[in-house]
Amino acid sequence: DIQMTQSPSPLSASVGDRLTITCRASQDISHYLAWYQQKPGKVPRLLIYDASSLESGVPSRFSGSGSGTDFTLTISSLQPEDAATYYCQQYTSAPWTFGQGTRVELK
């Protein structure tokens, strides 16, 4: 099975900062990667699919990049409502797998 490893948690940043979360796959997954945001008590929300495609309704400050084994989720200007846990998920081949999550805190 493919293992997904994310940036250490938590990440602390200030409002307005540019924040990058990394996700590394244990083998080549091409561009078959999604990013989710989850706030406490809520279900996950899809942000990015196919590594860099922005889901409808997601603010443009979120962007994704990468291919192969190394991927990033970038928030260009951190907002208070972005405090959450972020997960990557690969879907190049079953079984799909999630990263362990990266919690983003505001300073």
Partner 1 sequence: EVSVVESGGGLVQPGGSLRLSCAAFGFNFNNFWMNWVRQAPGKGLEWVANIKDDATEMYYADSVKGRFTISRDNAKNSLFLTMNSLRVEDTAVYYCTVGHYTNSWGQGTLVTVSS
Options 23, 25, 29, 49; binder of partner 1; rule CB under 8 A:
49
Q: Which of 24, 41, 44, 42 is nearest to 86 (CA)?
A: 44
Among 19, 23, 25, 32, binds partner 1 (CB under 8 A): 32
Of 93, 96, 90, 101, the C-alpha closest to 25 is 90
User: CA–CA separation, 63 vs 73, rounded Å?
Assistant: 6
C-beta closer to partner 1: residue 13 or 49: 49
Q: Cβ closer to partner 1: 1 or 105?
A: 1
- The structure tokens 């081949």 sit at 93
For the window 55-94, what string marks contact with partner 1 as x by the rule CB under 8 A? x-----------------------------x-x-x-x--x
Helix, strand or coil, per DSSP, at residue 80: helix
Residue 44 lies near partner 1 (rule: CB under 8 A)? yes
Indicate the pairing of strand 62-67 with strand 53-54: unpaired
Instruction: Enumerate binding residues for partner 1 (CB under 8 A).
Output: 1, 32, 34, 36, 38, 43-46, 49, 55, 85, 87, 89, 91, 94-101
